[in-house]
C-alpha cells in the first residue's frame, strides 16, 4: 500500500479509524529525511495492513507544532489510536522492520491498564485526568520486547 499524505484535515480521522498507523514527519530540506523515504516506502509495500502516512512539516506547520515535532525525520506509531512510539532519526530497514514487529506484538490490554492506573494516580494527585491532557499517548518505552519471552 502506498504511503498517504496526512494533513491537519485528515490526521485525526486516519489515526482513529485504523488499527496501526505509522507517521513519518519530514522536511524537504532534510537530508536524512530523503535517505529514510525509500526505507519507509519499502515498509509500506511490505506491510499493506499498516497505514504509512507522511506529514510534510513545512506545509503542515500547525499540525507539526501540535505534535511537538522539532527534529526530522521523526517517526511516530499509533496503535488503536494511542501513541506507542515517537523517536527522531532515520531508521535502517532492519530497525524499522523490528519496530513494526514490536508494534504488532504489543499487548494493548496491558497498555490500557497502565494508562488507566496512571490516570487514577493523576486524578488522585491533581484532581485532573492525565488522558485529557495527553490526548492518548501510551506510557511505554520505545523498546517493548516480545510477549512471552
Q: What is the pLDDT of residue 61?
A: 97
Q: What is the pLDDT of residue 47?
A: 97
Q: What is the pLDDT of residue 146?
A: 42
Q: What is the pLDDT of residue 46?
A: 97
Q: What is the pLDDT of residue 129?
A: 66
Q: What is the pLDDT of residue 147?
A: 43
pTM attached to this predicted model: 0.82
Q: What is the pLDDT of residue 131?
A: 54
Q: What is the pLDDT of residue 130?
A: 57
pLDDT digits (tens, 9 = 90+) for 130-139: 554 344 444 3
State the DSSP string of 31-100: HHHHHHHHHHHHHHHH-TTSEEEEEETTT-HHHHHHTT--SSSEEEEEETTEEEEEEESPPPHHHHHHHH
Question: Which residues is 55 bridged to in the sheet?
Answer: 25
- Averages of pLDDT over each 10 residues, the chain, 149 residues: 94 97 98 98 97 98 96 97 95 98 95 90 81 42 41
Active site residues: 30, 33
Amino acid at each position: 500500500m502506498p504511503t498517504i499524505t496526512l494533513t491537519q484535515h485528515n490526521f485525526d480521522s486516519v489515526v482513529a479509524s485504523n488499527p496501526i498507523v505509522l507517521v513519518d514527519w519530514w522536511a524537504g530540506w532534510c537530508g536524512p529525511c530523503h535517505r529514510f523515504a525509500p526505507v519507509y516506502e519499502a515498509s509500506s509495500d511490505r506491510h499493506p495492513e499498516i497505514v504509512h502516512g507522511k506529514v510534510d512539516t513545512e506545509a503542515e506547520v500547525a499540525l507539526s507544532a501540535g505534535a511537538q515535532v522539532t527534529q526530522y525525520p521523526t517517526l511516530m506509531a499509533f496503535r488503536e489510536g494511542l501513541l506507542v512510539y515517537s523517536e527522531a532519526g532515520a531508521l535502517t530497514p532492519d530497525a524499522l522492520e523490528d519496530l513494526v514487529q514490536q508494534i504488532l506484538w504489543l499487548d494493548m490490554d496491558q497498555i490500557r491498564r497502565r494508562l488507566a492506573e496512571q490516570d487514577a494516580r493523576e486524578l488522585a494527585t491533581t484532581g485532573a485526568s492525565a488522558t485529557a491532557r495527553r490526548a492518548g499517548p501510551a506510557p511505554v518505552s520505545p523498546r517493548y520486547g516480545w510477549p512471552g519471552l
